[in-house]
Structure 1
Amino acid sequence: MKDDVIIPISIDWNKEEVVDVVNFYDSIDKAYRKGVEKEALLKLYRRFKEVVPGKDEEKQSFKEYEKQTNQSPYHVVKKAKESEEKMIIM
């Protein structure tokens, strides 16, 4: 992940939730750089949805991340959900 990326987090989250969201976004970055295991990505996404349950909050978070990185979390997750492949590579 680029060093200058500011991961969208909330001050209301505890340390574990922040770490889990950062790990999810790290897996998005890996999907673009070298690929990520589908099941690992989906597990991280499920945890992300526990921390960020609202659709509007998710969209805003994805938009902030994509604006900085040109990487679409939405498209990575969509590909993971629809793909039969074990590795997700963007």
Structure 2
Amino acid sequence: MDYQYPMDMDWTTEEIVNVIRFFESVEKAYESKIPKDDLMSAYRRFKEIVPGKADEKKYTDEFKEVSGYSAYLVMKKAKETADGDPVSMK
């Protein structure tokens, strides 16, 4: 990883860690696979920190720009994946 995760300097350290955990989950879906429950848990926590759709889009678009990984497509795939199955973009 040769990029920085998007974040808001007003977030607490715990919130920053949780947002990074969500983006790492997106990376894992692209690079290998991640249990759907783990991904959904990371996303729910991300949404507690970034509840607005506009802000979510801003941060996930910034992440896609620097990483090439689409959080939107990963979450779309997760919704299509059966519970208990891993999510993978491969």
What TM-score, normalized by structure 1, do the two folds share?
A: 0.93
Cα separation, 2, equivalents of 1:80 and 1:6:
24
Counterpart mapping for 1:1-90 below 5 A: 2=1, 4-84=2-82, 86-90=85-89
Give the C-alpha shift of residue 53 in structure 1. Answer: 0.4
Cα separation, 2, equivalents of 1:62 and 1:75:
11
What TM-score, normalized by structure 2, do the two folds share?
A: 0.93
Q: Which runs of 5+ in 1 are unaligned?
A: none
**C-alpha deviations, 1:9-62, integer Å up to 9, x for none?**
101100100000000000110101111110100000000000000100000111
Q: Which runs of 5+ in 2 are unaligned?
A: none
Give the C-alpha shift of residue 70 in structure 1. Answer: 1.1
Which portions of structure 1, spanning 4 or more consecutive aligned residues, are displaced by more than 2 angstroms?
A: none
RMSD (CA atoms): 0.9
% identity of equivalent residues: 42
